[in-house]
Every structure is written in structure tokens, then in C-alpha cells.
Structure 1
């Protein structure tokens, strides 16, 4: 089968949605399928270009996602101009895929209807993979949403990365949506023989883009509470691309003001976090409403105890006191309580971390995801005749 993935939302190709798509593409290619990628950016894809059976094309179409808080009177005009330009980018991508003679188009994420339009022109099936809640997790909506929604509703299949995402959009689209949890290449993230809580100072890691929706400030305040009021010394590593510079500066100012420089470290994006995770005991997920939470699985595979906010897709990965710990989202005192509890009950936490890792290996492998997707692809082709 020859499958085309269309992804037009990432400028870095390093966010969770893009990495999950690229992992799928690699596994499909490994199984002998031909894969065509149509991306809007050529950043950080050198490694994928080297894979057999995968071709990459760059079509620099405009994202149609609008930041709700930054919407102005001029926003509509700007996006209308982008929308018109995207029509010509769609024609460019159409010519590429017509020559490639692909069997099916897999659209990665909610953005614009370009992939669906091309599939219609080619007379082939298309699958729409929804990887975000939009307003709830990204604080975004889509320009000309009704036009995009029309194409989602008539897709041959719609996939959600969690039941949280599925439940929202089944109501919105009034159609069946299939849940396929994200998967990761286990060997890339697994840390073998990892033992946690062996040093006097517990170390925590919070990966993800630096943005209010990711809740880094909750973690910062929890570390302060532990240090100042409970006399528990910890170290926190916040790792991620800066999405919101104002928010990032607010965090840095708070750290300086509260004399937390020796306890909290902010690092730029690191492609392979295994080295850092080997030094840590706890992996945090503090998002206000995570659509799924790929980094939670990565932390589990590294053998860390995971502590996450009790909202969204995070609750589908973490079973409280079984595969990790949950705290009340937005409540840094409750987060501090959970961290303190973990430090006091080290042996119990080691067992929970081991159970979490075993569950991640069993439930969230890339092989399992691709097995499910191939079934969906074949069903779409069969229904088309």
C-alpha cells in the first residue's frame, strides 16, 4: 500500500503530534509499505529522509489555526489571504500526489481541508487523525472551521488519540470516531535497569513546550512549597521549546525572586531525553487538559514514577496508585503532597513505576498502533470498492 501523510501544523516537526506521525510512517515503511510525507517545514527531518520507502515533499502551506487570545480585528483579513494562498499550495500538493499515485491520504491533526480536497480530486480514501482538543489544550480554533468540519464529517475514517478527544468530537461531528492511542518506538525511550529514589535529593523532569496550557508554573510552586515549608529539597528540570515567551519569562522571574535557581532548571528542547531521564526519579505531566500525553508514556518507559494532572487524556494513561499518581489539576499544594508522598514511600513508588513501565510497553507500542491503522486503511479501501 502507498500511503500519504499530510501534516501542516508544525514548524519544527518535533511536537508530539508530528513525532507520533513520523513514528507511524517509519513502522509502515519497515513493513514494506511505501510512504509519502507532505510537510510544511523541512526542519529536523534529516533522519526521516534517510529511511527506505519514505519520500518527503515540502509544501509551505499556511496553518489555519488561530490563537483565541491573540485574535484581533485584522485576524480575519490575514487568515483570508492565507486561505487563498493555500488553494495554490493545495494544487501543488495535488500534482505531487497524482504523480506518486498514492492509495490513501492520512491527515495528521485538525487544521485546513487541503488533504481532503486532494483525496476527493484523486478519488481515493482519506483518514483524519485528530490529535488535539483545540480550544481546551492549545487555546486555538480554526479559520473557516465550518468548511473544514464538512470534510471531516465525510472522511472514510476519523481517528482520535484518546477517548477524551473522541468524546468531544463525536458530539461535534455526529459521526463514529475510533480511538487509537498514540504509540512510541519502545527501544528509543526505554531505560533498562532503572532504579529510582536512590539519592537524597529527588529529581523531577517536566518535558513539553513552555506554554500556560502545560502547567509548568504549578510544578515550580510545588517545588517552592516543598523547599520552603516542608524542608524537602528537590530538583526540577523543565525541558521544552518556548511557545509563549511571556510565560517563560514569568517563570524565570518567579524562580529568581524565590531563590529557586539551584532547584529548578529550564532547558531548551533536547531530542533524546534518555540521558537526563536516567538521572531523574519522577516524570511530571501538569497540563490543564492533555489530549493524550505522549511524554507521560516516554517517562514511564524510562522507569520513572509519573505524576500527572487528573484531567483529559492523562487519566487514560495513569491509573492512580497503580501506574502512577494523579493530583488535582491546577492545585500546586496537592502536587506537592503527591511528590512528598512519593519521596516518603519509596518502595511502593518503585513498584508503581515498574507497573507503569510494563503497562506502557504492553499498551503503547508503535507496532500495536500500526496494526490498528492497517486494519482501518484496508477497511476504507474495501468500502470504496
Structure 2
């Protein structure tokens, strides 16, 4: 099959990492791929390393921040999107005729570049929904009705979790396929146990990911003289305002010697080799790639009782849930985890969940299921 993937952006995000995993497996299955990137960055660097063909077509996302639609800035963004769509149309027309594409696959609902050209030329469309736009990203579509129609007209829509599937239950063409992760680095991962028990939170550092919440719960334990613990915050700050909040709290509470801000790390062994307890504090995850990574790494997981985090921990029968936003409840779960992490029975439970995650959440299994979707579309099984 000749498959064209439309990427959202080239930053290191869960969507980008999931796409790279899918691309690798699709190539292993013998498919021919072309990737359309909206800009240069981490994604295009990785594609070059893999010697995978790509082109850059500057495009605009399908959404803006909630509340910005009626502002002058928001209206200008809507105008710019229309302008970008108009001028990119010919490039997509040329691409379609030159490449003889069998299927186009949008990597998220936050991009719709080339949609009119693909529809005009009757190219089957698969659309991945990898996000809960309002709940997690704090965004809203430029036009909710137009985007809903585009999704409805796609040959197939793939939801990455039940939370996403339920949100878009109005779509007749939606199905659930869990995200896949390259599990091989986790098979080789060797835990390095340090003197202190290491608690970690991994991902974009933003208010909706809950780092400050974790920091406050951690500090409550420190004030109760839990001396054998440390905290790692791994990721990149999204705003200067939130960065200052975090830094000020660390300084005001004199936590600098036991809280480490590592910045963004790429390799699983760099991220997970020392984390004993992983906290997933996101307000609302569509899936929760970090949750799966934590389980694969053999960390004890504490997660907020919302969205994909709850769904995945329930599915894998592992970890503990706390009431999202309740710092006292999180403190209590952390205290319980500090004891559990040392127990043989809990280690056995973690190992069992880890083995299940290796099978059900591998990039290979994800790609196998998606290729079946492609084959059914091309065989006219979906009507």
C-alpha cells in the first residue's frame, strides 16, 4: 500500500512519538510511505535518520485556545488558516497525482491539511483522534460543525481510548484501537535503585499536567520528615508563567536539594531507569502514553481518576488512583506507595501488568490493527 500520513507538528509530543512508532512498523510490513509535516523539527529529524520520505507543507491547525475565537487575534488566525488552506491546495493536488496514494491518514483531529484535495480525488481517509481537545489541550475547533462533518465523511475514525470513543459516539465510523509504543527499549531497561525512593512525573510541564499538584503533595511528605524520597520533574515548560510558579514553590519551600528539573529527555532509559513511583497527574488524558511507559518500566503508578489514566490502570489492573486536584488524597497515596514499592507481592503485581502491557500496547500490535482497517477500506468492507 502507498500511505500518506499527515502529521500535526514536528515537536516531541505523544502524537509524534505514536506516529513514528506506527511508521516504523508499517515499513516493516512492506508498505510505501510519504509523510507530510507542517514544519521542521524533531519529527523531520527522525524521518531523516530513518531515511523516510517526507515533504513540508506549511499548514494551520484546526483549533485555537478556548475563548480566543471572537478576539481580534483569534479572527486573524482563522483568516490565516483559510489563506494557508487556499495556497496549499495545489501542492496537495500535485502530491496526489505524482504519488498515486492509496490511503491518507491524519495523525490527529488538530490537522486537516489537504482535506478538500483528497476528497475531490476520492482518496480514502483515515482520521486518528489522539486528543481530548477541550479537556486536555484547552482548545476548540475553528468550526465544530465543519470538523464534525469532515470526521463523519472519513472512511474510518480511530479513537485511542474509550474516553475519546465515548466523546465522539455520534460518529458512525469510529472504532477503538489503543495507541502503540516501541516496547523494545523497555525490554532492555535496567532499573538503577538509588538510596532515596524516586518519585517522578513525566511530560509537558503545564498546569493541566499537574506538576505543581505533585510538588505540593510531595512537600507534605517532606514536612512529615519522610527523608528517603526525591522528586524528578521531567519535561519542557510550556509557559514562562508556569515555570516561575514551579521554581518559586521549590525555592520558597527549600526543596532544591531533593527536587530535580531535568528538562526534556528522549530515551526511555534516561527517563525511567531511576523512577520507582510514577505519578500521572493530568487533569484529563485522552490516552496516557506516559502511563503505559511507566508500567513497561516496572514503576508503581499513581494516577488521577480521570479519562485515559483511569481507563488504562483499570485495564492493566495495576497502580492506584487518587481524586484529581485533591492534594491530601495524593499525599496519602504517595505514602502508601512508599511502603508498597518495597513489597514482594506488589512487585509481582507490577510484573504481571508489565507483561500484559508488552503484548497489548506494542507499536507492532497497534500497526497490525490499523493495517487491517486500511485493507477493509480498500476492499470496500466498510460501507
- Cα deviation code 1:173-209 (max 9, x no counterpart): 4x241000001111133344548xx555210221111
For residue 28 of structure 1, report the CA deviation from its aligned partner: 0.2
- Cα deviation code 1:237-280 (max 9, x no counterpart): 11112222211211111111111112222222111141341122
SS of the residue corresponding to residue 318 of structure 1 reads helix
- In the other structure, the counterpart of 1:27 is 25
- Cα deviation code 1:341-384 (max 9, x no counterpart): 11113214322321221121021011111111011101111118
- In the other structure, the counterpart of 2:203 is 208
For residue 117 of structure 1, report the CA deviation from its aligned partner: 1.9
For the pair 1:83 / 2:90, whether they are aligned, the reply is no
- In the other structure, the counterpart of 2:146 is 147
SS of the residue corresponding to residue 383 of structure 1 reads coil
Moved more, 131-140 or 58-67: 58-67
- Cα deviation code 1:16-48 (max 9, x no counterpart): 011101110111011110011001122123232
Moved more, 54-63 or 29-38: 54-63
- In the other structure, the counterpart of 2:301 is 306
SS of the residue corresponding to residue 308 of structure 1 reads strand
Residues of 2 paired with 1:230 and 1:331: CA distance? 21
Q: Which of 178, 188, 194 is the matching residue for 1:181? A: 178
Tell me if the contact between 2:62 and 2:109 (Cα under 8 Å) persists in the aligned partners: no
For the pair 1:376 / 2:373, whether they are aligned, the reply is yes
For residue 316 of structure 1, report the CA deviation from its aligned partner: 1.9
- In the other structure, the counterpart of 1:336 is 331
- In the other structure, the counterpart of 2:164 is 165
SS of the residue corresponding to residue 114 of structure 1 reads coil
Residues of 2 paired with 1:206 and 1:170: CA distance? 32
For residue 233 of structure 1, report the CA deviation from its aligned partner: 3.9
Tell me if the contact between 1:112 and 1:148 (Cα under 8 Å) persists in the aligned partners: no
For the pair 1:316 / 2:311, whether they are aligned, the reply is yes
- In the other structure, the counterpart of 2:132 is 133
Residues of 2 paired with 1:22 and 1:11: CA distance? 11
- In the other structure, the counterpart of 1:237 is 232
For the pair 1:2 / 2:35, whether they are aligned, the reply is no
SS of the residue corresponding to residue 181 of structure 2 reads coil
For residue 130 of structure 1, report the CA deviation from its aligned partner: 0.3
SS of the residue corresponding to residue 249 of structure 1 reads helix
- In the other structure, the counterpart of 2:274 is 279
Structure 1, unaligned stretches of length 5 or more?
A: none
Cα-Cα RMSD? 2.1
From the superposition, tell whether residues 157 and 322 of structure 1 become closer, same or farther in structure 2 (CA, over 3 Å).
Answer: closer
Residues of 2 paired with 1:301 and 1:191: CA distance? 11
For residue 225 of structure 1, report the CA deviation from its aligned partner: 0.7
Residues of 1 paired with 2:320 and 2:336: CA distance? 10
Tell me if the contact between 1:4 and 1:38 (Cα under 8 Å) persists in the aligned partners: yes
From the superposition, tell whether residues 140 and 370 of structure 1 become closer, same or farther in structure 2 (CA, over 3 Å).
Answer: same
For residue 168 of structure 1, report the CA deviation from its aligned partner: 0.3
Tell me if the contact between 2:180 and 2:364 (Cα under 8 Å) persists in the aligned partners: yes
- In the other structure, the counterpart of 1:255 is 250
For residue 339 of structure 1, report the CA deviation from its aligned partner: 1.5
Residues of 2 paired with 1:322 and 1:246: CA distance? 37
Residues of 1 paired with 2:23 and 2:311: CA distance? 25
Tell me if the contact between 1:107 and 1:129 (Cα under 8 Å) persists in the aligned partners: yes
For residue 230 of structure 1, report the CA deviation from its aligned partner: 5.0
Tell me if the contact between 1:105 and 1:115 (Cα under 8 Å) persists in the aligned partners: no
- Paired residue total: 378
For residue 285 of structure 1, report the CA deviation from its aligned partner: 0.9
From the superposition, tell whether residues 90 and 284 of structure 1 become closer, same or farther in structure 2 (CA, over 3 Å).
Answer: farther
Residues of 2 paired with 1:90 and 1:374: CA distance? 27
SS of the residue corresponding to residue 297 of structure 1 reads helix
Tell me if the contact between 2:59 and 2:113 (Cα under 8 Å) persists in the aligned partners: no
From the superposition, tell whether residues 315 and 275 of structure 1 become closer, same or farther in structure 2 (CA, over 3 Å).
Answer: same
For the pair 1:290 / 2:285, whether they are aligned, the reply is yes
- In the other structure, the counterpart of 2:119 is 120
Tell me if the contact between 2:69 and 2:142 (Cα under 8 Å) persists in the aligned partners: no
